[in-house]
């Protein structure tokens, strides 16, 4: 009996140790290193390059659509294509990420379905005969599929990187700058040699060839069978109106008020000063090139510095480049230098978001990184939408109209400051304003430049 009693505990101990022996089979792969983590980062880079790069080429399509649909009131409708696409991409983030939170097991399938939707949307757009059909397909439907492709990749990236999260997100967002350098040139060449219909179909084929193999790399770090059960409770979003998220979100929105328009108006500004089309195109290419390198540097810094310090670094650099390079320059070399520096500092501001996510989740333990990211993206979209009307409001403000005399049109948020000799002739009326200060001293000009830049762009 004693022998049996002695044997029984041994058997129990052996049975209790059996799960420990099988536990390595379910061990999770390491974060911040390893083949799988870097493949997920590479896949995110490539997917975001295609997903976000294409809507940012809307300005290239605009000229060709305006001539193709000249009898369909194209001037106003064509501009809506890119606006609708980017608006849905930005403002749809909370809805998309909330659904991904509720059904985490379907995140990978969501990328596949989104890829099919974008392909169908662009193929349908290639058969469009009216502008509203392009707005519906290339604008809205494409953006819906793009949301389903882009946001699951960010959730995967958040799982695979912890200590190097800022660097990982910075590299991922640098893809937009990379695609912003190459895609406008490629699409412009294709539109010149082929029709827009052939260009859209070629884009779909190229996307399938490039993205098809990359989609295999996208997978969660925690398998769905062990850690991705559907949450039973609603998310806690009280962090939205509390510190530190609220003031940091406000900074992000203010920055976005002035970020988008310089990239849109730089070619027109360059041509208005008499520069060639090559210089006008180079200004946009350099802007995106600067954003590519700036996103990597900012992502690297946000892992090591306080997020507010990195935001200040980005803001001061962007503001100084506007005041001392764009505002007082009429040389092509200085304009190109401004384009690169502005892209480096202002274009990399979104790479500070991992720091915002870190600060928010540390302060509010119930806050989920995916939803923090969703509200940051939506806030940037709000800033982009509001920036246009705000620029007109600044121009029409009574204190400003009594102080300055304006040359033309609308005021670009980062005001292009020029002397009277720099104003182009009346043969062409650009959609931005040149501000003349015949009666102001140099000190007054610099002071008003600071006011304009602070109100319109940075916090």
Q: Per residue in 133-147, pLDDT tens?
A: 998 999 999 999 999
Mean pLDDT to the nearest integer, 62-83: 73
The predicted structure's pLDDT at residue 442: 45
Give the model confidence (pLDDT) of 157-188 as tens digits: 888 888 888 888 888 888 888 888 888 888 88
Higher-pLDDT residue of 399, 247: 247
The predicted structure's pLDDT at residue 179: 86
Per the domain annotation, does 331 fall within a domain?
yes
Report whether pLDDT(404) > 50.
Answer: no
Do β-strands 435-436 and 405-406 pair in parallel, antiparallel, or remain unpaired? antiparallel
Per the domain annotation, does 11 fall within a domain?
no
The predicted structure's pLDDT at residue 329: 63
Mean pLDDT to the nearest integer, 336-355: 90
Question: Could you tell me what percent of the chain has a pLDDT over 70?
Answer: 73
Tally the domains of the chain: 2
3 confidence band (pLDDT: 50, 70, 90):
very low
Per the domain annotation, does 229 fall within a domain?
no
Query: Both 155 and 301 in a single domain?
Result: no
Question: Which residue segment(s) compose the domain that 317 sits in?
Answer: 237-398
Per the domain annotation, does 424 fall within a domain?
no
Query: Both 193 and 279 in a single domain?
Result: no
Chain centre distance of CA 163: 23
Query: Both 87 and 201 in a single domain?
Result: yes
Query: Both 303 and 334 in a single domain?
Result: yes
The predicted structure's pLDDT at residue 147: 93
Last residue of a domain, one of 222, 256, 286: 222
Per the domain annotation, does 310 fall within a domain?
yes
Per the domain annotation, does 304 fall within a domain?
yes
Query: Both 277 and 205 in a single domain?
Result: no
Last residue of a domain, one of 222, 256, 282: 222
Mean pLDDT to the nearest integer, 22-34: 68
The predicted structure's pLDDT at residue 393: 66
Question: Could you tell me what percent of the chain has a pLDDT over 90?
Answer: 19
The predicted structure's pLDDT at residue 269: 78
Mean model confidence pLDDT for the chain = 76
Distance (Å, rounded) from C-alpha 279 to C-alpha 285?
10
Buried/exposed 239-272: b ≥16 CB within 10 Å, e otherwise: bbeeebbeebbebbbbbbbbbbbbbbbbbebbbb
Query: Both 209 and 244 in a single domain?
Result: no
Q: Please, what is the Cα angle at 135 between 131 and 140, to 5 degrees?
A: 165
Highest-scoring range by mean pLDDT, 57-71, 277-291, 351-365 = 351-365
Query: Both 55 and 169 in a single domain?
Result: yes
Query: Both 252 and 362 in a single domain?
Result: yes
Per the domain annotation, does 278 fall within a domain?
yes
Distance (Å, rounded) from C-alpha 361 to C-alpha 367?
5
Mean pLDDT to the nearest integer, 399-418: 39
Query: Both 137 and 61 in a single domain?
Result: yes
Query: Both 340 and 196 in a single domain?
Result: no
Last residue of a domain, one of 222, 247, 277: 222
Query: Both 329 and 364 in a single domain?
Result: yes
Per the domain annotation, does 409 fall within a domain?
no
CATH number of the structural domain spanning residue 217: 1.20.1250.20
Query: Both 212 and 243 in a single domain?
Result: no
The predicted structure's pLDDT at residue 22: 46
Distance (Å, rounded) from C-alpha 61 to C-alpha 78?
9
């Amino acid at each position: 009996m004693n022998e049996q009693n002695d044997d029984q505990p041994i058997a129990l101990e052996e049975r209790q140790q059996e799960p420990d022996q099988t536990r390595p089979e379910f061990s999770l792969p390491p974060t911040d290193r390893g083949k799988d983590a870097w493949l997920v980062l590479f896949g995110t880079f490539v997917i975001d390059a295609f997903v976000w790069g294409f809507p940012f080429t809307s300005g290239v399509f605009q000229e060709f659509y305006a001539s193709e649909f000249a009898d369909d009131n194209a001037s106003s409708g064509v501009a809506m294509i890119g606006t609708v696409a980017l608006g849905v991409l930005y403002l749809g983030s909370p809805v998309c990420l909330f659904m991904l939170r509720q059904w985490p097991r379907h995140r990978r399938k969501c990328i596949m379905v989104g890829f099919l939707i974008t392909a169908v949307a662009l193929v349908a757009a290639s058969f469009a005969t009216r502008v509203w059909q392009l707005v519906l397909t290339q604008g809205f439907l494409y953006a819906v599929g793009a949301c389903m492709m882009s946001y699951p990749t960010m959730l995967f990236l958040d799982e695979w990187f912890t200590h190097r999260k800022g660097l990982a997100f910075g590299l991922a967002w640098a893809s937009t700058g990379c695609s912003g350098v190459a895609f406008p040139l490629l699409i412009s060449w294709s539109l010149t040699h082929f029709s827009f219909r052939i260009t859209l179909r070629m884009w779909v084929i190229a996307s399938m060839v490039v993205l098809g193999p990359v989609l295999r790399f996208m997978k969660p770090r925690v398998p769905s069978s062990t850690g991705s059960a559907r949450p039973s409770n609603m998310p806690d979003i009280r962090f939205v109106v509390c510190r530190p998220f609220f003031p940091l979100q406000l900074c992000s929105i203010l920055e976005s008020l002035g970020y988008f328009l310089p990239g849109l108006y730089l070619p027109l500004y360059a041509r208005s000063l008499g520069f060639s089309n090559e210089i006008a195109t180079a200004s946009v290419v350099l802007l995106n090139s600067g954003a590519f390198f700036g996103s990597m540097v900012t992502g690297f810094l946000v892992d090591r510095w306080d997020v507010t310090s990195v935001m200040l670094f980005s803001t001061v650099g962007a503001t100084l480049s506007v005041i001392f390079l764009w505002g007082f320059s009429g040389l092509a070399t200085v304009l190109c230098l401004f384009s690169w520096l502005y892209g480096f500092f202002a274009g990399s501001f979104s790479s500070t978001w991992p720091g915002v996510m870190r600060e928010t989740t540390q302060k509010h333990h119930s806050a989920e990184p995916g939803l923090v990211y969703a509200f940051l993206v939506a806030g940037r979209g709000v800033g982009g939408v509001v920036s246009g009307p705000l620029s007109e409001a600044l121009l029409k403000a009574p204190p400003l109209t009594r102080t300055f005399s304006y040359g033309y049109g609308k005021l670009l948020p980062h005001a292009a400051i020029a002397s009277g000799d720099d104003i182009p002739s009346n043969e062409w009326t650009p959609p931005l304003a040149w501000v003349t200060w015949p009666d102001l001293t140099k000190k007054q000009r610099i002071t008003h430049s600071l006011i304009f830049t602070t109100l319109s762009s940075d916090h």
